[in-house]
Copies of this chain bind each other. A is one copy, B any other.
Amino acid sequence: MSASRFPLLDRRFLLTSLATLPILSASSRFASAQAPSDPLPSWKDGATKTSILNFVARVTTQGGPDFVAADKRIATFDNDGTLWVEQPMYVQLAFILDRVKAMAPMHPEWKTKQPFAAVLDNDFKALAASGEKGLVELVAVTHAGMTTAEFEKISSDWLATTRDHRFKRPYTELVYQPMLELLAYLRASGFKTFIASGGGIEFMRPWTERIYGVPPEQVIGSSIKTRFEMKDGAPTLFRLPDINFIDDKAGKPVGINEHIGRRPIAAFGNSDGDLEMLQWATLGASGARFGLIVHHTDEVREYAYDRLSHFGKLDAALDAAKVNNWTVVDMKKDWKRIFAFD
Decide: B258 and A201 in contact? CB cutoff 8 A: yes
Q: A170 to B258, alpha carbons, bound, how many Å? A: 27
Q: A201 to B216, alpha carbons, bound, how many Å? A: 20
Binds B, one of A19-27, A56-64, A224-232: A224-232
Decide: B280 and A228 in contact? CB cutoff 8 A: yes
Binds B, one of A37-45, A108-116, A182-190, A259-267: A259-267
Expressed in whole angstroms, the minimum distance between the Cβ of A310 and any Cβ of chain B is 24
Which residues 219-267 in A have Cβ within 8 Å of B in the complex? 219, 223, 226-228, 230, 233-235, 237, 244, 250-251, 253-254, 257-262
Decide: B230 and A279 in contact? CB cutoff 8 A: yes
Give the residues in chain B near A74, CB-CB below 8 Å. 217
Decide: A250 and B228 in contact? CB cutoff 8 A: yes
The answer, yes or no, to whether A129 is at the interface (CB within 8 Å) is: no
- The closest CB in chain B to the CB of A205 belongs to B261
Which of B230, B235, B257, B260 is in CB contact (< 8 Å) with A237? B257
**A interface residues, Cβ below 8 angstroms from B:** 71, 74, 148, 192, 201-202, 205, 209, 215-219, 223, 226-228, 230, 233-235, 237, 244, 250-251, 253-254, 257-262, 276, 279-280, 283-285
Interface pairs (9), CB distance under 8 Å: A71-B215, A148-B257, A205-B262, A217-B261, A226-B258, A228-B254, A234-B283, A237-B257, A244-B258
